[in-house]
Homo-oligomer: A and B are copies of this chain.
Amino acid sequence: MLDCAHIKALQNIVGKENCYDDKAHLLAYCYDATRERYEPEAVVFPRDESEVSAILKYANTHKIPVIPRGAGSGFTGGALPAQGGIILALEKHFNKILEIDEKNLIARVQPAVVNKIFQNEVEKRGLFYPPDPASQDYSTLGGNVSENAGGMRAAKYGITKDFVMALRAVLPNGEIIRAGKKTIKDVAGYNVAGILIASEGTLAVITEITLKLIAKPKFKKSAMGVFPSIESAMNAVYKTMASGITPVAMEFLDNLSIRAVEEKFHKGLPLDAGAILITQVDGDLEVLIEDQIASLESRFRENGCTEFKIAQNAQEEEDLWFARRNASQSINIYGKKKLNEDITVPRSRLPELLARIGEMSEKYGFKIPCFGHTGDGNVHTNVMVGDPSKPLDEAELARGHKCIEEIFKIAVELEGTLSGEHGIGLSKAPFMHLAFSEAEMELFGAIKRAFDPNNILNPHKMGLK
């Protein structure tokens, strides 16, 4: 536990009503979406940037770990206090949209603004913020930046980093910095904003984010392609994208995922399909939409698509996406514990990736339903361990982790990455050596020390020493 003097010092900075070390608070802030638990020693709610600065300065002097936290919705433990310290909870006082600059198509927000709330606000003005992680209803923009969140629309619009123009942040020594500008071009000084993105809260505490917006496309249309095999669907994905069509999203569900959704929701999905692709196009002219949908159908059919269903109205559109959005919860029927990873490969390697995941399923005897963002090569791979109706067997779980490790190796072999969206945090730290050399890990360590020589900011994450 933190010394009483430390708690008093923190209370002096943020006020008593914004600093807690009672059991209820420590429990409330000990978890994230990994369901792992690590108790902090204090929870503080800074009211402004100067308080963030004062807290960090204090913690740096006394070498107390500080863990920045938005919604705590991360999948890899990024917001967990691995070895105690202070949870710097931004949710209470950093949740304001500061500016929506319609003249320059730019917004400035505080880090704890929820993604979806922000999307709704800009859409009211005819503008559009594309990054849409599955957690968009509760995850915060600060968390999105810290993890470089993706989402379904990345196939056309890119990911969070493609929309971050500038950041304000507080360094571990308490210094406040700005990085980047409200300009499309800016090449003065090192790209500090670029390295803060995806740094998982280990380099600085982000206190303000400047985001690029675009005009909201006037029209959109969704369609579903049914494929006899996963291989034909994966071939369709990369050949369609290579042909120059750029759908907003190109999502897939494999047969296991289709059957799970159907069992739960009875939406009339094709139970015998090897896979389905759900796709959406958008644009400012109806004729453009029609042209893109027609091209998609051609490419799909060339690759074995047996049925191509275009959503004719909002309800049909909603139904199509319902299956995709509910895949993750539906597949829980296949196991007690879901080992959910988000490997990514170049699109042309998708057929091989899925084939080899199939081999892993046979080898280990686990069902491995897959779905995800094939338009950008990002596959959510779910190793389902244990019988849902029985207690979890530890040896079985260990085998599940072994299976995951093999899948990571396959991803790296296919020129892919350990993580397309979720980050490394604690969960994937043991696998960093599969993807990075000793020299690369040492460079990460040197970068960490450049920002945080005392290693107080979110320590023990990303496999950093």
Contacts and interface: CB of A to CB of B under 8 A. Distances in A.
A416 B158 contact: no
Given A161-B191, A191-B194, A287-B287, A181 B376 contact: no
Contact of A417 (B186, B244, B344): B186
Number of this chain's copies in the assembly equals 2
A102 B242 contact: yes
A2 interface: no
A104 B187 contact: no
A122 interface: no
A417 B188 contact: yes
B198 A191 contact: yes
A189 interface: yes
Nearest to A377: B183
Interface string A217-238: 0000000000000000000001
Given A106-B346, A244-B215, A348-B103, A436 B189 contact: yes
Contacts of A177: 437, 439-440, 443
A184 interface: yes
Given A104-B238, A161-B194, A195-B194, A188 B285 contact: no
Contacts of A319: none
A343 to B, nearest CB: 9
A243 B126 CA distance: 9
Interface string A396-433: 00000000000000000001111111111000100010
A206 interface: no
A378 interface: yes
A358 B374 CA distance: 52
Given A102-B242, A183-B377, 4 more contacts: A154-B184, A177-B440, A190-B447, A192-B444
The 3 closest A-B pairs by CB, nearest first: A215-B244, A194-B194, A185-B420
